[in-house]
Structure 1
Amino acid sequence: MTGREFFTARTVAEALAGFRPDHRTPVEHVPLADALHRVPAAAVASPAPLPGFVKSTVDGYAVRAADTYGASDGLPSYLDLLGAVSMGAAPDVAVRAGGCVAMPTGGVLPDGADAVVMVEYTAETMPGTIEITRPVAPGSGLVRADEDVTAGAPLVPAGRPLRAPDLGLLAAAGVTTVAVHARPRVVIISTGDEVVPPSTVELLPGQVRDATASALAGLVTDAGGEPVVAGIVSDEPGVLKDKLAEVLPTADLVVVSAGSSVGARDETAGAVAAVGSVWCHGLAIKPGKPTLLADCGGIPLIGLPGNPLSALVVFGQVGIPLLWRLSGCEHPPPAPSTLARLSRDLASATGRLDVVQVQLRDGVAEPVFGPSALLSVLTRADGYLVVPEPATGLDAGTEVEVTLYR
């Protein structure tokens, strides 16, 4: 090391666009029950058209549309009731000129019919005779056999996390298993002579319990990954390098929560450089400047700041998009957000992304400030806003987008 605290500093936008390791998780087949939010490795084509038959979308009567032309309240059309369609069965009756067939919603359209009249526009004036008071056009009140999906068309695309309606469409097509990318295995390493396990009952002067690893594991799980908390590594030279060599073969992403001192950061950078290629050491983000990104034989590594607030903010901005990309998703699903008015002026620096925690009250975003060592800043916040890199700040009253914590 040269003694410089940072080198190859990049903006967050540069990191998201430029730090793109090729590694992707392997493909596995999972049942639909386990497929929610998983990322398909390839588009799934429909084996047959859906719904597969022409069906009614309303309760009413299947008719030939031409038999209803000119019908009105004052001059209804009268049709012979020829029978009824049962749900889940093929019709045993056809529609002929001057006739109609009773239809339930979802029933199979009988031969000879080309429309369905809603029951609200009909009346049975005498047994076996149906009065029609509204005309219908061909195709009214029904869906085509391939109107939902044509045979061979994609049911779901590759690279987009599966949502609940996707599972329903797959089930409707008879697809019960899906080839998806495995959940990224994220190995979390904590470092620092001052860091002790959360189970430590009594702290010695200067010791802190490892809060960051538990919080990071939660973020990883929430983003669809599989966290592996690999324990605490001391600042002694060579120990972190050995730990990285041990975990890299089993990881899809390695996250190192580094110590806060310059020496500890230097040790992290040196250990990472010994097993991989450092892409940047320093991001133009507040909080979170001392961030390291590296490629270790195709496995990405993120070196986070030691302060918990900074570590979690950086992982949210850079780590979670990277985790989604590892699982085959190039465009992560957006987090829930809302618009609010800023309660006070916010200063910033051009070229730096500022992530500001806020509380929401009656449509007003109130910044929550505090040292980056305090996790309570995050627990008190309802979400955060971002002051973009070109801005020098935001004025009170500005409408801002607040990304909400779930």
Structure 2
Amino acid sequence: MSEATGSREFFTARTVSEALAGFRPARRSAVERVPLAAALHRVPAAAVASPSPLPGFVRSTVDGYAVRAADTYGASEGLPSYLDLRGAVRMGAAPDVTVTPGACVAMPTGGVLPEGADAVVMVEYTAATMPGTIEITRPVAPGGGVVRADEDVAAGAALVPAGRPLRAPDLGLLAAAGVTDVAVHARPRVAIISTGDEVVPSSTVDLGPGQVRDATAPALAALVLDAGGDPVQAGIVDDEPGALTDRLSEVLADADLVVVSAGSSVGARDETAGAVAAVGEIWCHGLAIKPGKPTLLADCGGVPLIGLPGNPLSALVVFGQIGVPLLWRLSGCDTPPPLPVTRARLSRDLASAAGRLDVIQVTLADGVAEPLFGPSALLSVLARADGYVVIPEPATGLPAGTEVDVIGHR
């Protein structure tokens, strides 16, 4: 994976697809039970089985009349069938009437089908021609206008699967089955460390010569939150030898993922790699991605670590491509939820290199994607972008006018 040359180590860059396929730590966050009100977007640790069938009784799907289907055969507007009205079903109550041959019962949508009936005729195909008599102008087949007691979910069937983030309809289905809480993976704890003598807290009012406020850590924390994680900002570590190693040893004890925003110079990257190597095993040092090539991935005793470039734009792009899928995996989800995508035409040619993934920030207007360019130190490029276009690794560029997917920022 690497070879020593003097005091320096050179690592072969991996492609992003190799990283996504090969860097797959077995670690998963702990399991906890949460009420449904707190379960949106959480990932079930196991499939949840229905304790009973749903809806649990044969019910009407339309307003109309419960009938024996055989009594409606041959009915038409020119030759309707006439049935005796024997009463009505009330919502939320068991029927107190039986449908006998030649009779019908008024039904509300969702009402319990009374004994003797096997279908419901929609009210639109009926008429009350005289008191106590209902005219039927269209036949109905057995089972028409009703759902079976287990048609929604059979008893013991999975209400929601394991490994897929819970959505609003999932919570509704769980509630309908009487499930009030669910076992989910805890939000992965993500320790975020910034490094560099020049980096100072974002709350710093007056900057000294050469100092920069820490913009990367708050932005990374927001990406972690958006992907269902629990960000822990572990502060700024200066460039003193051994300081980063000490901080890594501290945070690894209580983290599911560690993210280090390193300096952009070669020396700073070497210092980060040395500190990581002291507490774990480096999987790769360098990704074939632009921006963000000086990225490090490591396994530190079962806890994955991502060493990001120091430039904010590069750091956030790489975390979106590598960190977010990894974070979802840690929370028990192997396939991250899709991001919003808009189809648009490129306004200009985009160059790329085969074997490298290029992530280009763009603005959108009238179906046209306009690329934004600038140094990777400029966070304003990301802030102005509506989304980004990915040029895949095999491609050598995209010509103007190409239809592309613009992946939206959230």
Instruction: Provide the TM-score with structure 2 as the length reference.
Output: 0.98
Give the match for residue 236 of structure 2.
232
Give the distance between the partners of 1:182 and 1:230, measured in 2 at CA.
20
Which position in structure 2 is the counterpart of 1:170? 174
The CA distance in 1 between the partners of 2:81 and 2:73, in whole Å, is 8
Match of 1:131? 135
| 2:111 counterpart letter in structure 1 | G
Residue of structure 1 equivalent to 2:297: 293
Partner of residue 371, structure 1: 375
Separation (CA, whole Å) in 1 of partners of 2:323 and 2:92: 50
Matched, 1:338 2:336: no
Name the SS of the counterpart of 1:357 in structure 2.
strand
Distance 1:6 1:363, change over 3 A: farther
Instruction: Write the letter of the residue equivalent to 1:294.
Output: A
Residue 36 of structure 1: aligned partner:
40
Among 322, 334, 351, the residue aligned to 2:326: 322
**Per-residue deviation, residues 58-92 of structure 1 (Å, max 9, x unmatched):** 00000011111111111111000001000000000
Gaps of 5+ in 2: none
Structure 1 residue aligned with 2:209? 205
Q: Is the 8 A contact 1:5 1:262 kept in 2?
A: no
Aligned counterpart, 1:245 = 249
Q: Which residue of 2 aligns with 1:276?
A: 280
How far residue 260 of structure 1 moved from its aligned partner, in angstroms, is 1.1
Unpaired stretches in structure 1, ≥5 consecutive residues: none
Structure 1 pair 208–6 and aligned structure 2 pair: CA distance change class (3 A): farther
SS in 2 for 1:138: coil
Letter of the aligned partner of 1:388 in structure 2? Answer: P
Residue 205 of structure 1, CA deviation: 1.6
1:100 pairs with 2:104: yes
**Aligned pairs (5 A) from 1:6-405:** 6-405=10-409
Q: Distance in 2 between matches of 1:390 and 1:23?
A: 31
Q: Deviations over 1:259-299 (max 9, x none)?
A: 11111110000000000000000000000000000000000
In 1, Cα distance between equivalents of 2:272 and 2:358: 25
How far apart are the structure 1 equivalents of 2:10 and 2:384?
31
Name the aligned partner's letter for residue 158 of structure 2. P
Distance 2:187 2:211 in 1: 34
Q: How many residues align?
A: 406
Q: TM-score, normalised by structure 1?
A: 0.99
Shift in Å at residue 338 of structure 1? Answer: 1.2
Following the alignment from structure 2 to structure 1, what is the Cα–Cα distance between the partners of residues 8 and 351? 27
Deviations 1:156-197 (A, max 9, x none): 000000000000000000000100000000000000011000
1:326-374 CA-partner distances (Å, limit 9, x unpaired): 0000111111111111110000000000000010111111101111000
Alpha-carbon distance between aligned partners in 2 of 1:264 and 1:237, rounded to the nearest angstrom: 11
Q: 1:313 to 1:5 in 2, by over 3 A?
A: farther
- In structure 1, what is the Cα distance between the partners aligned to 2:74 and 2:185? 58
Shift of 1:34: 0.3
Counterpart of 2:327 in 1: which secondary structure?
helix
Q: Deviations over 1:101-136 (max 9, x none)?
A: 000000000011111000011111111000011111
Equivalents in 2 of 1:140, 1:91: separation in Å? 19
Q: Distance in 1 between matches of 2:45 and 2:203?
A: 40
- Where 2:14 maps in the other structure, the secondary structure is coil
The answer (yes or no) to whether the contact 1:8–1:279 under 8 Å persists in 2 is no
Q: Distance in 2 between matches of 1:76 and 1:405?
A: 60
Residue 393 (structure 1) shift: 0.1
In 2, Cα distance between equivalents of 1:369 and 1:95 = 74
Paired with 1:243 and 1:171, the residues of 2 have a C-alpha distance of: 44
C-alpha displacement at 1:6, in angstroms?
4.6
SS of equivalent residue, structure 1 residue 280: strand
Identity %: 84
SS in 2 for 1:145: coil
Shift of 1:8: 2.9
Note if contact 1:27-1:182 (Cα within 8 Å) is conserved in structure 2.
yes
Distance in 1 between residues matched to 2:245 and 2:64, nearest whole Å: 74
Q: Indicate the SS of the match to 1:284.
A: strand
Q: Is the 8 A contact 1:191 1:235 kept in 2?
A: yes
Instruction: Report SS of the residue matched to 2:377.
Output: coil
Compared CA separation, residues 254 and 347, structure 1 to 2 (3 A): same
Give the root-mean-square deviation of aligned CA atoms: 0.8
- Take 1:278 and 1:311, find their aligned partners in 2: how far apart are those partners? 18
